Amino acid sequence: MERISWNQYFMAQSHLLKMRSTCERLAVGATIVRDKRMIAGGYNGSVSGSVHCADEGCYVIDGHCVRTIHAEMNAILQCAKFGVATEGAEIYVTHFPCVHCCKAIIQAGIKAVYYSTDYRNHPYAIELFREAGVEMHKVELENISLDPYHSEKLEFMDELINEIEARGAEPEKVSGLKEVAKKLFHQSHTHEA
């Protein structure tokens, strides 16, 4: 099995966190990391003990849901709540942070933002990150698999297609099967120590 990069690993954690989101409009996850160790995670959802958007719908004012706390803020607040320093840490977010989260990230002393999806990347947020010296990196996740048997499945699929081809299947049928297998199973990883 091929190893994924550290960036893909931490981004995958953020994607798992986003699956806990109670926001009806956009599910987001965030993981704060220092020295290749996860120190906090968050997802967008309601204040603890309050009603969730998934239960009663979003509470929208001026185009924004005011019920929801953003994933980045939840992760930063988790650090504050439990006394975990964020100075010099990195944050992995499924979507590019909004302006408000950008300001909180800077104030928390986080040195780098990794995101997997461009989402209303506000020019002022980008400007603030640059002024503060916060690095911004896009992390591609579409080519990784969280399936631990991915390689074995790929090898099995290749064997089946080769057997079908050896038994005289029509070339266009074999070609079609290979295309489907390529879309379903092939990966290209960026390795990082």
Catalogue the active-site residues.
72
Identify which of 80, 131, 82 has the alpha carbon closest to the alpha carbon of residue 102.
Answer: 131
Q: Which residue has the tokens 């992390």?
A: 139
Q: Which two tokens stand for residue 155?
A: 């090898």
Strands 112-117 and 29-34: unpaired
Distance CA 80, CA 114 (A): 21
- Chain centroid offset of residue 68 CA: 19
Question: Which helix (H) or strand (E) element contains residue 71?
Answer: helix 71-82
44 alpha-carbon distance from chain centroid = 13
User: Tokens for 176?
Assistant: 């079609």
Q: Which residue has the tokens 């699956």?
A: 19
Q: For residues 5 and 35, is the Cβ–Cβ distance under 8 A? A: no
